[in-house]
Amino acid sequence: MSGEVEPELTGFVLLYKPVGPGSQTLLRGVKRLVHTRRVGHAGTLDPFASGLLPVAIGKATRLVDFIHSFPKTYEATLRFGIATDTEDLEGRITATDAIPLLTTAAVEAALARYLGEQQQQPPRYSAIRTRGKRSYERARSGDPLEPSPRTIRIHALRLLALDGESLRFEVQCSSGTYIRSLGRDIAMSLQTVGHLTALVRTAIGPLRLHQALTPDELESHAATLGIHALILPADVVLQDLHAVVLNAEECALLRNGSLIAGDLAVPAGTKVRGYDAAGELLGLLRRVESGLAPHLLLK
């Protein structure tokens, strides 16, 4: 029937961000294809980095903050002997140092020291706000003020390859971890300096790089299949959570902010995903002592 308004697209597109363009550049390309302003990504990648960039569309943008709680996995290449002001290959060289003879055992011992919760000093060239101003803006203007250390967690850290002057490693870490700074610190613990020459994000929570489309693939597939066929359902990021199906009365109560009774075998505080009787995702619910409470609803 002409004049009917099409329902807003909702879900995720998983993009492979190549080296070069910024995350916002790719976001603009998705906005053009989906014809909605409600588009956001779940984790910026620096221009020199590549890898998985989940893009939320429509009501799924409400889940972006939840995705930020997921652990992230990266593969990084650390070049020893040269330090830069940005802690990556795009920066200005600030120091050089000799590279000691590095054995696999010595490197693995150094990596093991960074497992667990710790304080990390972020790079000066970062988007962190310090007294209302981005840290990279201060660095560019010569302001010596550095961002404050932040608490991070390294869940896993594994040596992938080692040669005379570089190290390739895989890290799984909490959101907010700067892999550039981790590389800097690893080099220092090995009695030298260093900077990252490559960084690839391979996973965010349950999402994997092999699921992602390149920008060119997204464009071509959208032209032949239609953009609808490329959008994953919003619950693709919630598959690790317990699922509950709710009746119409329960859905109405939750939408109004009320609790509903429920006897789930999950601890209080646990997040679960709720669906209506038609199988549509209602959103995230939180287990409380007396049942279930709305946490983050999409509809």
Q: Catalytic site residue 185?
A: no
Token duo for residue 88:
């990556």
Q: What are phi and psi of 221, to 5 degrees?
A: -70, -35
Rounded CA-CA distance 292/250 in Å is 10
Tokens linked to 235: 């619950």
Residue 87: how many CA atoms within 13 Å on its side-chain side?
22
Q: What H or E segment, with its residue span, contains residue 291?
A: strand 291-297
Distances (CA, A) of 215 to 28, 109, 212, 240, 259: 11, 39, 10, 28, 43
DSSP secondary-structure letter at 76? E
Distant-in-sequence, close-in-space partners of 94: CB < 8 Å, separation ≥ 6? 83, 84, 85
Q: Which of 46, 88, 185, 235 is catalytic?
A: 46
Task: Give the start-end residues of each E strand in 58-175.
Answer: 72-80, 82-84, 93-96, 116-120, 129-130, 133-134, 150-162, 166-173
Give the residue numbers marked as catalytic: 46
